[in-house]
Amino acid sequence: MAPVRDVAIVAFAQSDHLRRTDEVSEVEMVMPVLHQVLSRTGLKTSDIDFTCSGSSDYLAGRAFSFTMALDGVGAWPPISESHVEMDGAWALYEAWVKILTGEADTALVYSYGKSSPGQVRDVLTRQLDPYYLAPLWPDSVALAALQAQALIDAGDTDEPALAGIAARSRTSASDNPHAQLRGARAQGDYQVRPLRTGDCPPVGDGAAAVILAAGDRARELCARPAWIRGMDHRIEAHSLGVRDLTDSPSTRLAAERAGAFDRPVDTAELHAPFTSQEVVLRKALKLDDTVAVNPSGGALAANPVMAAGLIRLGEAAARIHDGTSHRALAHATSGPCLQQNLVAVLEGEAQ
């Protein structure tokens, strides 16, 4: 279904993603990013019709932390605001819908995650089915490793190929001043076999923000808006034993509904925190070697949980803004082993 209004990402900003940020609270971490993204458009908070954020209290162990982070936006006079307890990519989806309905012409979307205060591998077990999975505390690396082994058994990849994905991602991140791991590094020991340290994302803190605008408003705010040609998100059964872990039908369906297969894309920003997940996503999205995959370095170079998906949308948009890309795909994921997947297709106007 073609969107009823033209909506574009007109600005993107992100923090430097760091292993620890003890010196700043969440709002102190988020606020500079908000100021940057606003200054790129010249907009003030009072000019923004709708604000939506994504985060999770479990990461830093703080209750209702998004209400504190909202202090960095400036909520007086009263603003129209919403929050998703998910990656900011889903906050962007909500904001996009809000604009499509005509309820807003501009939107500010931001998300952040501070994983450093806790143990993110343990924290993420709390999102699992509480009856059959959570009592066993299977951590995020373990679940990804089960998927990786299934891919190896199926002949879809092997350990050297996974190491190649790790090296390519972090080499790409050399040009990304915000990335946490810049430049190739040793694969290291097994964390949970078959995944080695290099196959896993860094643990770190960070924030990101984008501004959306509709139609001519977008053209006023940005020389080359990244038009959202389609966006969709789909979910699969929670139980890993029900799914074929070597495939991602939800990603494929979301991509189809977003129009990703209508014409080739030149760039793909994939939210694949583990090397093995890139294998699954490339297959589901039918990406060949002509597509620049994760030129930013992707989540293997910086994975601020709850912001890493929004960053994929922002990085894809930034490449359209600067003319490097004409048609880009952005993907975000959430849940164990790529359970939930969002795909957006972004395009720049012919120059």
- Which positions lie near other proteins, rule CB under 8 A? 22-28, 31, 34-35, 45, 58, 60-61, 68, 70-76, 117-119, 121-123, 126, 130-139, 142-143, 145-150, 153, 190, 192-195, 237, 239-242, 245
Least distance in Å: CB of 123 to other proteins? 6
User: What are the residues facing 53 on neighbouring strands?
Assistant: 83, 110
User: How many Å apart are CA 12 and CA 335, to the nearest integer?
Assistant: 25
| Count of other CB atoms within 10 angstroms of residue 349 | 12
Q: Under a CB-based contact definition with an 8 Å cutoff, are residues 316 and 329 in contact?
A: yes
Least distance in Å: CB of 126 to other proteins? 6
Is the Cβ of residue 259 or residue 304 nearer to other proteins in the bound state? 304
Least distance in Å: CB of 7 to other proteins? 24
- CA distances to 62, 198, 203 from 141, rounded to whole Å, are 24, 12, 12
Is the Cβ of residue 191 or residue 333 nearer to other proteins in the bound state? 191
Q: Under a CB-based contact definition with an 8 Å cutoff, are residues 165 and 282 in contact?
A: no
Least distance in Å: CB of 124 to other proteins? 11
User: How many Å apart are CA 326 and CA 55, to the nearest integer?
Assistant: 30
Least distance in Å: CB of 239 to other proteins? 7
Least distance in Å: CB of 305 to other proteins? 14
Q: Which residue has the tokens 């977003």?
A: 258
User: What are the residues facing 292 on neighbouring strands?
Assistant: 267
Is the Cβ of residue 124 or residue 308 nearer to other proteins in the bound state? 124
User: How many Å apart are CA 107 and CA 43, to the nearest integer?
Assistant: 11
Is the Cβ of residue 122 or residue 220 nearer to other proteins in the bound state? 122
Is the Cβ of residue 68 or residue 291 nearer to other proteins in the bound state? 68
User: How many Å apart are CA 138 and CA 123, to the nearest integer?
Assistant: 10
Is the Cβ of residue 39 or residue 101 nearer to other proteins in the bound state? 39
